[in-house]
A and B are shown apart, each in its own frame.
Chain A
């Protein structure tokens, strides 16, 4: 097969008709440029959710019965809150927010209702009614929250200085086309508070969506040019020739364009994960270009271009093809992930690897023979850093080849020690903590968590097993007992359920001294009848479905990650089993729960991806080196850096998340490249010298510089992702780079040691 490929490449580079495929490529690129304009962003982060039918059905049922669960929360500190001025501010803001198109409801202190006893029973009255008198405003506010303590932490802090306004948007307004406008209108209204010297804080799922969209756009604008500039500099430092910089970058640019065009053609939208593709595709496409150009310029091959091409293909085609195949396999292994974003990222990166390899194989010799035809290898001076590189390679060679057993033992012991850190690794994803410190959404959410409480709503729905109405006294007493138990959990800041409202309505309806739940079914029927015709159906519909068979319990959590969310959910579900028993079904639902559940599944799937990647790469390596023993040895230096990186993440208390869980599977495909090149060259050298140590020395000094250059390019390319807006992508970039550096060390230390131990007699 390699002969056919070599023949094809030779024709594409030297045949008289070589301009025809080039023109075709230009047309394809033009078409790709046109198609890529329709590439859209996924602001909903839907692709970060698992495509699970049960999940979608539960969520849809929840939304159909209880409405949209995506609320905005605005909170601010106002020392004058308990005065007419402070309350007027709240009233004015509430009124202005209600006027915004797409806002379906606004809940604040000034339009909240309390349950009071009227002349004929319970009545819903405003919690605070204007005009707000300076003499009584504070007392009234205090009395109101004493009557209805449920408002504490929801609309008001206990010191009466921080207040919140909850804004509900229509389903349509939370769609991408309208979301930006709705949030911009809300921000404009909040300017009124800022003008009065107050600092409003805004959070909620719609803001997260909008922020993610903005950050993806920012990353798209920043990362690609930054990666191009960084990689250009790195390649320049290695080759010191402008054409040697432009040619690989052109190949990489074409790869990025083609892959994005495919995404656009398939209507796949960019998300927080796939936003990383441009710099990674650049790196993946640059790698074969560097190997090919390095051979063309420094390979000591014949001067005549056709002969030089043949020599280059003979030396590098099989190795580069194998490297591309293993890298593509590593990324393609992510396709088993149930998360569409990860799957799309893996498949796009695999496609980019193969496309980049094909383009490099075609365009690099074509460009090189055109621009460097008259030039001798000597015209491109070796990089100045090569002395340093040679010194480093000598050091590695001395250590690994003089003491091969020590090298292997030290490496294994080091990796073992590092990998103990994996014990502390935990699966924890947090959309807000995905953002870097200082990001407004992150700061606002944590501020609200500190000063008001519970910005993360965890939703539960309760229904009777037989599907009947929840109209028995026992229903609500059990639900209330469960809510009380939930309030005892440290991560829980508040619980809102219809049981609380029923208690107040019961007390007001029958003039009871305290708010207690009724013990008779008939009374519950009456209270539900009262609520069924109460004027504030919008709020009630959020607590109980219209058919009264399903009730929602909102547990407000502190700003915690998914690890704690899942622990709290499990605890609450266990508590529900005790308090509610088998007569009820309790389902956890809502965006926070699904994020947490998906995150747990994701890690399991990522381990499967890594296992698959390991198997595929191992198989390819064995086939490539034609020996099971060599194949097994080749895997050792590639497992060690991944184990060390995993341990490092644990020691640094960096959680496994969407980004970090991808490192192993993606890195596996990349790190083996060096091993393939090293073992390929070693076997050639061994064939000539018959001396393992001499062959290893020749390989380290001969192939080593290309490996170092290649790794520097890869690491530089990945580390560009550090400038991204999301911590998981930042960690992915940073630690994939770290893994590559560790892999380079292993390939220059452990691989020669293992090969010498394996081949010496």
Chain B
């Protein structure tokens, strides 16, 4: 009987690690900076800079019924920022493709309202850089309390893409600059404050 029990225990640990790991990333996030994301002056989400274990994370939480448009907007920016001639363009393509897959999944799974406008879809994007890892996660989230305050209660990543570290680091800077309207110096200061290995987040000098 001991062997099946041991197997069951290992199985549970495996299941927890594989399927429940996204929950672990909610563990006491240290949010260093946050700024709203707006579309036509209407807040539709939040970009937040946080540290998790050894990594710096730029988390984008988007909450809108027009997610297809938002994803199209991100694709447009990615194509501008990462032309095929530039290092990281392949990562950008993978990221956009993942984004569109998740958006379609959210659209298919979305709740249909019987009275009143449809509830918004919720898309979470994480750019994680630090230590030896550089990856992008795309999924969804839940909020608690006033939805405009973005108090995260759950986060579930549907896709994790291990991408070029240079692409991830550079996109963290681009997101902070674009969404939070931050200058290079401010971004440097913020990123230094996160005590992350500088090589992954330093600006790319061309």
Same assembly: yes
In the complex, A549 Cα to B116 Cα: how many Å?
7
**B114 to A469, Cβ gap below 8 A?**
yes
| Chain B 57-81 residues near chain A, CB threshold 8 A | 64-66, 68-69, 72-73, 76
B42 within 8 A of A: yes
**A121 to B116, Cβ gap below 8 A?**
no
B112 within 8 A of A: yes
Point out the residue from A120, A528, A548 that lies within 8 Å of B69, measured CB to CB: A120
Chain B residue numbers with a CB within 8 Å of A546 are 116-117
**A468 to B65, Cβ gap below 8 A?**
no
Question: Would you give the 0/1 interface string for A459-477, flagging 1 where the beta carbon is closer than 8 Å to chain B?
Answer: 0000000011101000000
Chain B residue numbers with a CB within 8 Å of A120 are 69, 72-73, 76
Return B99 CB to nearest CB of chain A, in Å.
Answer: 14
Chain A residue numbers with a CB within 8 Å of B72 are 119-121
Question: Would you give the 0/1 interface string for A639-661, flagging 1 where the beta carbon is closer than 8 Å to chain B?
Answer: 00000000000000000000000
Residue of A nearest to B40 (CB): A535
Chain A residue numbers with a CB within 8 Å of B116 are 469, 546-548
Return A547 CB to nearest CB of chain B, in Å.
Answer: 4
**B76 to A119, Cβ gap below 8 A?**
yes
B115 within 8 A of A: yes
**B114 to A533, Cβ gap below 8 A?**
no
Chain A residue numbers with a CB within 8 Å of B41 are 535
Given known contacts A120-B73, A121-B72, A535-B40, A530 and B114 CB-to-CB distance under 8 angstroms = no
Residue of A nearest to B65 (CB): A529
Chain B residue numbers with a CB within 8 Å of A469 are 113-116
**A529 to B117, Cβ gap below 8 A?**
yes
Point out the residue from B66, B76, B114, B115 that lies within 8 Å of A529, measured CB to CB: B66
A146 within 8 A of B: no
A570 within 8 A of B: no
B118 within 8 A of A: yes
**A532 to B76, Cβ gap below 8 A?**
no
Given known contacts A120-B69, A120-B72, A120-B73, A533 and B115 CB-to-CB distance under 8 angstroms = no
**B118 to A529, Cβ gap below 8 A?**
yes
**A532 to B65, Cβ gap below 8 A?**
yes
A133 within 8 A of B: no
| Chain A 598-624 residues near chain B, CB threshold 8 A | none
A526 within 8 A of B: yes
Point out the residue from A467, A468, A525, A549 that lies within 8 Å of B118, measured CB to CB: A525
In the complex, A469 Cα to B114 Cα: how many Å?
6
In the complex, A237 Cα to B75 Cα: how many Å?
96
Return B73 CB to nearest CB of chain A, in Å.
Answer: 5
Return B112 CB to nearest CB of chain A, in Å.
Answer: 7
**B66 to A549, Cβ gap below 8 A?**
no
| Chain A 109-126 residues near chain B, CB threshold 8 A | 119-121
Return A475 CB to nearest CB of chain B, in Å.
Answer: 14
Residue of A nearest to B41 (CB): A535
Q: Which of A120, A546, A549 is packed against the most chain B CB atoms within 10 Å?
A: A120
In the complex, A471 Cα to B117 Cα: how many Å?
10
Return A125 CB to nearest CB of chain B, in Å.
Answer: 12
In the complex, A547 Cα to B114 Cα: how many Å?
9
In the complex, A468 Cα to B113 Cα: how many Å?
9
Given known contacts A468-B114, A469-B113, A529-B118, A121 and B42 CB-to-CB distance under 8 angstroms = no
In the complex, A548 Cα to B41 Cα: how many Å?
23
**B42 to A547, Cβ gap below 8 A?**
no
Return A385 CB to nearest CB of chain B, in Å.
Answer: 77
Chain A residue numbers with a CB within 8 Å of B65 are 529-530, 532-533
Residue of B nearest to A535 (CB): B40
**B42 to A533, Cβ gap below 8 A?**
yes
Return B93 CB to nearest CB of chain A, in Å.
Answer: 18
Return A3 CB to nearest CB of chain B, in Å.
Answer: 74
Chain A residue numbers with a CB within 8 Å of B76 are 119-120
In the complex, A345 Cα to B40 Cα: how many Å?
57
In the complex, A468 Cα to B65 Cα: how many Å?
19
Residue of B nearest to A468 (CB): B114
**B112 to A533, Cβ gap below 8 A?**
no
**B64 to A525, Cβ gap below 8 A?**
no
Residue of B nearest to A546 (CB): B116
Chain B residue numbers with a CB within 8 Å of A121 are 68-69, 72
In the complex, A256 Cα to B41 Cα: how many Å?
63
**A548 to B115, Cβ gap below 8 A?**
yes
Return A545 CB to nearest CB of chain B, in Å.
Answer: 9
Chain A residue numbers with a CB within 8 Å of B40 are 535
| Chain B 93-132 residues near chain A, CB threshold 8 A | 112-118
Chain B residue numbers with a CB within 8 Å of A547 are 115-116
**B117 to A526, Cβ gap below 8 A?**
no
Chain B residue numbers with a CB within 8 Å of A533 are 42, 64-66, 117
Chain A residue numbers with a CB within 8 Å of B115 are 467-469, 547-549
In the complex, A529 Cα to B106 Cα: how many Å?
15
Chain B residue numbers with a CB within 8 Å of A471 are 112
Question: Would you give the 0/1 interface string for A535-548, flagging 1 where the beta carbon is closer than 8 Å to chain B?
Answer: 10000000000111
**B66 to A548, Cβ gap below 8 A?**
no
**B66 to A530, Cβ gap below 8 A?**
yes
Chain A residue numbers with a CB within 8 Å of B42 are 533, 535
Given known contacts A120-B76, A535-B40, A526 and B114 CB-to-CB distance under 8 angstroms = no
Chain B residue numbers with a CB within 8 Å of A549 are 115
| Chain A 377-410 residues near chain B, CB threshold 8 A | none
Q: Which of A467, A528, A532 is packed against the most chain B CB atoms within 10 Å?
A: A532
Residue of A nearest to B75 (CB): A120
| Chain B 135-162 residues near chain A, CB threshold 8 A | none
Point out the residue from B68, B73, B114, B117 that lies within 8 Å of A532, measured CB to CB: B117
Residue of B nearest to A532 (CB): B117
Chain B residue numbers with a CB within 8 Å of A526 are 68
**A528 to B117, Cβ gap below 8 A?**
yes
Chain B residue numbers with a CB within 8 Å of A529 are 65-66, 117-118
Residue of A nearest to B76 (CB): A119
Chain A residue numbers with a CB within 8 Å of B73 are 119-120
Residue of B nearest to A122 (CB): B69
In the complex, A163 Cα to B13 Cα: how many Å?
74
In the complex, A469 Cα to B76 Cα: how many Å?
33
Residue of B nearest to A509 (CB): B69
In the complex, A530 Cα to B76 Cα: how many Å?
19
Chain A residue numbers with a CB within 8 Å of B118 are 525, 528-529, 532
| Chain A 520-569 residues near chain B, CB threshold 8 A | 525-526, 528-530, 532-533, 535, 546-549
In the complex, A431 Cα to B59 Cα: how many Å?
63
| Chain B 27-69 residues near chain A, CB threshold 8 A | 40-42, 64-66, 68-69
In the complex, A155 Cα to B72 Cα: how many Å?
35
Residue of A nearest to B112 (CB): A525
In the complex, A120 Cα to B64 Cα: how many Å?
15
Return A583 CB to nearest CB of chain B, in Å.
Answer: 16
Return B148 CB to nearest CB of chain A, in Å.
Answer: 14
Q: Which of B41, B73, B118 is packed against the most chain A CB atoms within 10 Å?
A: B118
Return A99 CB to nearest CB of chain B, in Å.
Answer: 22
Residue of A nearest to B121 (CB): A529
In the complex, A535 Cα to B116 Cα: how many Å?
17
Question: Would you give the 0/1 interface string for A151-188, flagging 1 where the beta carbon is closer than 8 Å to chain B?
Answer: 00000000000000000000000000000000000000
Question: Would you give the 0/1 interface string for B165-177, flagging 1 where the beta carbon is closer than 8 Å to chain A?
Answer: 0000000000000
Residue of A nearest to B71 (CB): A120
Return A5 CB to nearest CB of chain B, in Å.
Answer: 69
Chain B residue numbers with a CB within 8 Å of A528 are 117-118
The 6 closest A-B pairs by CB, nearest first: A529-B65, A532-B117, A120-B72, A547-B116, A547-B115, A120-B69
Can you report 11 A-B residue pairs in the complex whose CB atoms are below 8 A from each other?
A120-B73, A468-B114, A469-B114, A528-B117, A528-B118, A529-B65, A529-B117, A532-B117, A533-B42, A546-B117, A547-B115
Q: With A119-B73, A467-B115, A532-B117 given, can you name 14 additional A-B contacts, CB distance below 8 Å?
A: A120-B69, A120-B76, A121-B68, A121-B72, A469-B113, A469-B114, A471-B112, A526-B68, A528-B117, A533-B42, A533-B65, A546-B116, A548-B113, A548-B117
Using a CB–CB cutoff of 8 Å, the interface residues on chain B facing chain A are 40-42, 64-66, 68-69, 72-73, 76, 112-118
Using a CB–CB cutoff of 8 Å, the interface residues on chain A facing chain B are 119-121, 467-469, 471, 525-526, 528-530, 532-533, 535, 546-549
